[in-house]
Chains A and B, each alone.
Chain A
Amino acid sequence: MEIFEIVTYFVLLLLVSTAVRVVTTSNVIHAAISLVFTLALTSVLFLLLSTEFVALVLVLVYIGAVIVLFLFGIMITRAPLGKNAELDNDKNKKLGAAIAGSIFFLFSYILVNGFEGEVVITSGSSTELLGEILLSRFVFPFELVSFVLLAALIGGITLARKDEALIDEEQV
């Protein structure tokens, strides 16, 4: 076995253990921190596959923004120290495991059968090619996704905003 494979399997093992900890711990913040490690290890995996751009996007967007927003949301609503009894929901554990397992098998099936070991990118830096593909072949879905995001943003603001509760800027 080569050193590369050993490192990969070691990272995968750590990844699975942190991912399990995210859903088994009964402390919200511990779950969020475990999620940070899960995402960081995923980004290491992408680095090992020499797709630096995806790895850094994971760090920048997921760890730097999404998790920070999670933590911010948890703290601004209620942030009990110690265990949270509501998170020990034994009834749904089987259902959750079943759903997670079926998603795993579905994704593995699609990924293994869809590409069949075909190498898509053969030369050049992956970042440059990613940029070119994103803005030529996939430009329409790309723009569509940004449009959907914009719609979601506006929808979120309209739902969250209650005009009568707004404070006048002069009053602040």
Chain B
Amino acid sequence: MTDVLIKVGFLALAALNGAIIFTIMDVKGASWMQRRPGPLHVGLRGFIFPVAEILKFVQKEDIIPTEVDRPVFKWAPAYVMVSCVALFAVVPMSPTLVVADIELGVFFALAISSLGTIGVLTAGWSSANKYSLMGGLRAAGQLIAYELPLILAVVGVVIQAETMSLVGIVEKQIEWGVPFVFGGQLIGFLIFMVAATAEMMRVPFDMPIGESELTMGFMTEYSGIRFLIFYISEYMNMFILCAIASTLFLGGYHVPLLPTEWVNFYGPVVLLTKTAILGFILVAIRWSQPRFREDQLQNLAWKILIPASLVNILVTAIMKVGF
């Protein structure tokens, strides 16, 4: 029992810390890339500003407008949060430092990540606000479209690794000698990253939030701690999807040439470094690219990414059987 509690506590802490680190990276990245004055004065040259931010949001009044559908409105952030935290349960930091090494790890991750959509949709609807409803609809259209390439891109990895357990997939990459991204899954990796960015609803896929046209999309009416939950969930989602991408495609907690018997010591550091590099690429894209138009976004998903991922599955299966 204590074993389970320790693991759950570790899970919540790791996910929250990941979210905070990515928040710092995003804001500091913005000030570095766009020559903006970022947070500079709150302790350690502004590096602990997320703590101040969280304290501020917790103190704020949690305003619930009179016309909203109260129970639905109140519970919508919870679905998003739960789907984010539960996702982290299957990501292995090292062969033993994993909350639940279940046989269907990848499948579990994909199934759970689709739960967040319900939170976004119900938040948009229950707010009784046209901007929120538009944001919710755009989010739903986008999340439905990009969930398919995300799943199909992972299928290639599963075929190559012959297992759905995330620890098993990493072990297979250690056995192979090179991470899957250099072992034939480069296209799968690119599709996964594009689809994951769309799932996080970050630039260039932030049509559902689009602050210049939809105020804040489905989050418009939220304030105080409920807004904080949405805000943290976005970064948590970013952190966890980057961690899953590093595990599936970049070799997870291991890099070639390092001795495998020491993997329990350097594993977490290696995984977090890979995750941070992927996160940095996403931050760089966010602060340098414009937003996709809605029809371009749908075209990219249905006409390019899905056919490409199907071809990827076909080629991987042929290579698997043929060689």
Contacts and interface: CB of A to CB of B under 8 A. Distances in A.
B124 interface: yes
Contact of A71 (B69, B122, B295): B122
B144 A71 contact: no
Interface string A38-80: 0000000000000011001101100111011101100110010
Contact of A172 (B111, B125, B133, B295): B295
The CB with the most chain B CB atoms within 10 A, among A63, A64, A67, A76, is that of A64
B136 interface: yes
Contacts of B69: 27, 29, 81-82
B199 to A, nearest CB: 12
Contacts of A29: 69, 72, 122, 125-126
Contact of A30 (B72, B108, B111, B128): B72
A68 B122 contact: no
Contacts of A79: 125, 133
B104 A53 contact: yes
B103 A75 contact: no
Contacts of B133: 75, 79
B63 to A, nearest CB: 17
A34 to B, nearest CB: 11
A82 B140 CA distance: 22
A76 B134 CA distance: 9
A75 B136 contact: yes
A24 interface: no
B143 interface: yes
A60 B111 contact: yes
Contacts of B128: 81
A67 B111 contact: no
Contact of A60 (B103, B107, B126): B107
A56 B140 contact: no
Interface string B84-122: 000000000000000000111001101110110110011
B118 A59 contact: no
Contact of B104 (A33, A56, A68): A56
Task: Give the interface size bracket for B toward A.
Answer: 20 to 34
Contacts of B114: 59-60, 63-65, 68
Contacts of A108: none
B61 interface: no
B67 A68 contact: no
**A interface secondary structure, majority:** helix
B137 interface: yes
A76 B137 contact: yes
A90 to B, nearest CB: 24
Interface in A68-120: 68-69, 71-72, 75-76, 79, 81-82
Contact of B122 (A33, A57, A59, A125): A33
B112 A72 contact: no
B141 interface: yes
Nearest to A126: B103
A8 interface: no
B115 A127 contact: no
A60 B111 CA distance: 4
A22 interface: no
A36 interface: yes
A47 to B, nearest CB: 10
A52 B112 CA distance: 13
A172 B137 CA distance: 19
Nearest to A30: B72
B140 A68 contact: yes
A36 B137 contact: no
A71 B126 CA distance: 12
Nearest to A79: B125
Contacts of B137: 72, 75-76
Given A60-B107, A75-B125, 11 more contacts: A29-B69, A29-B72, A33-B122, A59-B115, A63-B118, A65-B114, A68-B117, A69-B144, A72-B140, A75-B133, A81-B128
Top 3 nearest A-B pairs (CB, nearest first) are A64-B114, A60-B111, A59-B111
10 contacts: A29-B125, A33-B118, A52-B102, A57-B111, A65-B114, A68-B117, A68-B144, A71-B140, A72-B140, A75-B136
Interface of B: 67-69, 72, 102-104, 107-108, 110-112, 114-115, 117-118, 121-122, 124-126, 128, 133, 136-137, 140-141, 143-144, 147, 164, 295
